[in-house]
């Protein structure tokens, strides 16, 4: 639900919480790409938005003029009490060079393709457990009954927390990512409630007292400049993993199933040819990339003729870059066998999504197990499908009928 | 044919390793490098081209 007045002109007054954008942002980006490749708005205290692949890439690679100190556009800019650049509130996603590389290096070994492959059997088992639980229903909500729980419970498993605590994270994710157009005061009040902080603090204490073979102990053992991380840094990193790792992959799984529910030919091809899944996963990521990032302008400067001012937001829609016809032939069509696919769903440059190997594994396994169980399904009620508002785009309700 | 990963450009997307594990491997940080000094046997030339065409950072080059 938007708290803001409706947008009249997306080139000069854009708002990513506008109902038109939430329902279908692609025509908006197509029009801007033709007429005004860098849009502006006075909302949120001033923000810019490139919509071409070239423009999005230029900002992603320019860590000198754009800081990552805050990457979620809202009425609330970083305050004086928040950690300044180059560290930011949730390293390394909110960090700039040179600190960024050090903070990122700590985490990379846990998220490479080889360590992530170790979680594939758990993920597959989890998918089947969810499918079993939904079996026998006439209508399954592919977002709520399936997609949502997969990344959530895999992260909970990686951190070494009890599976039954997954609800705490579900509530937190919703607060951080979906209420962005609430007022600064409302947002601050909810964030200060502190349920998650208290929970994480207790888990960290337990792990300090008794180290285990999980990501929490891995983080507590990690060293930066020869010193172990401060528990506050570890806690910030855990929050980052949840914000960045749950809503996003849930959106990608949901959007892929939403597509398949409406495209019987694509369903048949995937069911008949499981090897097609490799290119299909990349194509779903390109066409339905969930994540739009953000930057803040570091100092006044001119970007492609736009007079950017220090502190202006920069909205970075990777999903728009992925639909740029200059880079992707038939950009608005889904070709499951697209063999050349340099999409930017996981970002470009030094902030490439740390969890991309995890997300790809989860998306592939989730689709494989669903297709195996239900090769044929359709939307039970197309009008009942709802999409998230904010910088992570994905379906939040997808009622499907099994055929 | 030779392939080469530019370590400065590679950001660890791991597309090359997923598409052509015979030609590329990743280190502990997930960054890619070519195997066998980058030598590409004739039967893997298509896979090498596929890796190039799917690197989001344009980090892989081919020389013949």
Classify residue A71 as exposed, middle or buried by CB count within 10 Å of its CB (0-12, 13-18, 19+): buried
Question: Which residues on chain B are in Cβ contact (under 8 Å) with A114?
Answer: 26
Name the nearest CA neighbour of A251 among A391, A111, A157: A391
Q: Are A39 and A303 in contact (CB under 8 A)?
A: no
CB contact under 8 A, B12 and A108: yes
A189, pLDDT greater than 70: no
Question: Average of pLDDT values for A206-226?
Answer: 93
Determine the average pLDDT of the residues in B4-23: 98
One CATH from 3.40.1010.20, 3.30.70.20, 1.10.10.10, 3.30.479.10 for B2-63: 3.30.70.20
Kindly provide the b/e burial profile for residues A34-43, where b requires at least 16 CB atoms within 10 angstroms of the residue's own CB.
eebbbbbbeb
* Position B59 pLDDT exceeds 90: yes
Give helix A247-262 / helix A356-373 axis angle, nearest 10°.
Answer: 40
Does residue B33 sit at the A interface (CB-CB below 8 Å)? Answer: no
Asked whether the predicted pLDDT for residue A197 surpasses 80, the reply is yes
Q: For residues A213 and A272, give the distance between their C-alpha atoms in angstroms, rounded to a whole number.
A: 40
The Cα–Cα gap between A129 and A101 comes to 39
Q: In the predicted model, is pLDDT for residue A279 greater than 70?
A: yes
Share of chain A above pLDDT 70, in %: 94
In 10 A of CB B44, how many CB atoms? 17
Q: Any CB–CB contact under 8 A between A101 and chain B?
A: no
What distance separates the 2 farthest-apart alpha carbons in chain A? 59
Q: Which of B24, B25, B30, B46 should we substitute to test contact with A (largest number of A Cβ atoms within 10 Å)?
A: B30
CB-based contact B9:B53 (threshold 8 Å): no
Residue of B40, B34, B32 whose CA lies nearest to B57: B32
* B30 close to A (CB below 8 A): yes
- Among the residues of chain B, which ranges form H helices? 15-19, 45-53
How far is the alpha carbon of A290 from chain B, nearest alpha carbon, in Å?
17
* Chain A residue numbers touching B25 (CB-CB < 8 A): none
Any B CB within 8 A of A342 CB? yes
Task: For an interface test with B, give the residue of A54, A57, A116, A352 to mutate (most B CBs within 10 A).
Answer: A352
Percent above pLDDT 70 for chain B: 100
Q: Which of A308, A322, A240, A324 is nearest to A72 (CA)?
A: A240
Mean pLDDT across chain A: 92
The predicted-structure confidence for A370-384, as pLDDT tens digits, reads as follows 999 999 999 999 999
A111/B30 touch (CB, cutoff 8 Å), yes or no: yes
Q: Which residue has the higher pLDDT, A200 or A184?
A: A200
- Over range B15-24, report the average pLDDT: 98
Looking at residue A85, what is its pLDDT?
77
Tokens of A45: 């205290």
Q: Mean per-residue pLDDT for A300-322? A: 96
pLDDT at A76 over 80: no
Is the bond into A86 cis (omega within 30 degrees of 0)?
yes
The answer to whether the beta carbons of residues A324 and A53 sit under 8 Å apart is yes
Per-residue DSSP letter, A229: P
State both tokens at A72. 């979620």
A85-132 pLDDT, tens digit per residue, is 788 777 899 899 999 999 899 999 999 999 999 999 999 999 999 999
Question: Would an 8 Å CB–CB cutoff place B49 in contact with chain A?
Answer: no
What pLDDT, on the 0 to 100 scale, is given for residue A1?
A: 45
Rounded CA-CA distance A205/A200 in Å is 9
Q: Please indicate whether, in this complex, the C-beta atoms of A342 and B54 are within 8 angstroms of each other.
A: yes
Note whether B11 contacts A282, CB cutoff 8 Å: no
The number of residues in chain B equals 64
Mean pLDDT of A235-252: 89
pLDDT for A326 equals 97
Does the beta carbon of A338 lie under 8 angstroms from any beta carbon of chain B? no
pLDDT band at A176 (very low <50, low <70, confident <90, very high): low
Helices A149-159 and A120-134, packing angle to 10 deg: 140
What domains can be seen in chain A, in order of their start residue? Answer: 10-402 (1.10.630.10)
Q: Can you name the residues that pair with A224 across neighbouring β-strands?
A: A227
- Contact list in A for residue B24 (CB cut-off 8 A) is none
Q: With contacts defined as CB-CB under 8 Å, which chain B residues touch A344?
A: 56
Q: Work out the minimum CA distance from A83 to partner chain B, whole angstroms.
A: 26
* Full-model pTM: 0.94
Flag whether pLDDT at B31 surpasses 50.
Answer: yes
A112, A348, A360 ranked by CB distance to B26: nearest: A112
Q: A244, A290 in Cβ contact below 8 A?
A: no
- CA A394, CA A368: separation in Å to the nearest integer? 19
Q: Which of A65, A94, A54 is nearest to A78 (CA)?
A: A94
Sorted by where each begins, the domain ranges of chain B are 2-63
Say whether pLDDT at A11 is over 90: yes
A297/A167: higher pLDDT: A297
In order, the DSSP letters of A343-403 are: --TT-SGGG--TTHHHHHHHHHHHHHHHHHH-S-EEES-GGG-EE--SSB--EEE-EEEE-
Q: What digits encode the pLDDT tens for the residues A280-300?
A: 999 999 999 999 999 999 999
With vertex at residue B13, the alpha carbon angle to CA B10 and CA B16, rounded to the nearest 5 degrees, is: 80
Instruction: State whether residue A324 sits within 8 Å of chain B by CB.
Output: no
Q: What is the ipTM of this complex?
A: 0.97
| pLDDT number for residue A51 | 97
Flag if B11 and A350 touch (Cβ within 8 Å): yes
What pLDDT score was predicted for residue A230? 87
């Amino acid at each position: 639900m938007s708290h803001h007045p409706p947008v009249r002109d997306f080139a000069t007054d854009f708002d990513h919480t506008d109902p038109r954008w939430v329902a279908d942002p692609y025509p908006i980006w197509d029009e801007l790409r033709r007429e005004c490749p860098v849009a502006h708005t006075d909302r949120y205290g001033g923000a810019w938005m490139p919509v071409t692949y070239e423009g999005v890439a230029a900002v992603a690679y320019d860590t000198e003029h754009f800081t990552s100190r805050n990457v979620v556009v809202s009425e609330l800019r970083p305050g004086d009490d928040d950690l300044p650049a180059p560290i930011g509130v949730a390293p390394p996603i909110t960090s700039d060079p040179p600190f960024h590389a050090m903070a990122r290096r700590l985490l990379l070994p846990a998220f490479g393709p080889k360590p992530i492959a170790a979680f594939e059997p758990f993920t597959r088992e989890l998918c089947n457990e969810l499918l079993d639980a939904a079996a026998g229903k006439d209508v399954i909500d592919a977002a709520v009954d399936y997609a949502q729980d997969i990344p959530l419970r895999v992260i909970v498993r990686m951190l070494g927390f009890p599976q039954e605590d997954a609800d705490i994270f579900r509530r937190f994710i919703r607060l951080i990512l979906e209420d962005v157009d609430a007022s600064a005061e409302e947002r601050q009040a909810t964030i200060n409630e502190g349920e998650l902080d208290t929970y994480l603090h207790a888990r960290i204490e337990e792990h300090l007292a008794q180290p285990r073979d999980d990501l929490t102990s891995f983080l507590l053992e990690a060293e930066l400049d020869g010193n172990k991380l401060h528990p506050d840094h570890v806690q910030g990193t855990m929050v980052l993993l949840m914000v960045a790792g749950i809503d996003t992959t849930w959106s990608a799984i949901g959007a892929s199933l939403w597509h398949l529910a409406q495209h019987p030919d694509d369903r048949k091809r995937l069911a008949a040819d499981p090897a097609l899944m490799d290119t299909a996963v990349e194509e779903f990521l390109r066409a339905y990339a969930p994540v739009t990032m953000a930057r803040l302008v570091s100092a006044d400067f001119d970007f492609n003729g736009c007079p950017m001012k220090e502190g202006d937001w920069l909205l970075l829609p990777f999903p728009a870059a992925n639909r740029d016809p200059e880079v992707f032939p038939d950009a608005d069509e889904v070709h499951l066998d697209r063999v050349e696919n340099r999409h930017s769903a996981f970002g470009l440059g030094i902030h490439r999504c740390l969890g991309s190997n995890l997300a790809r594994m989860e998306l592939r396994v989730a689709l494989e197990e669903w297709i195996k169980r239900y090769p044929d399904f359709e939307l039970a009620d197309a009008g009942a499908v709802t999409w998230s508002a904010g910088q992570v785009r994905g379906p939040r309700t997808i009622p499907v009928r099994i055929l | 044919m030779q392939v080469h990963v530019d370590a400065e450009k590679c950001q660890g997307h791991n597309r090359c390793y997923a598409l052509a594990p015979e030609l590329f491997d990743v280190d502990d940080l997930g960054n890619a490098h070519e195997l066998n000094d980058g030598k590409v046997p004739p039967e893997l030339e298509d896979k090498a081209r596929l890796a190039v065409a799917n690197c989001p950072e344009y980090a892989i080059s081919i020389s013949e």
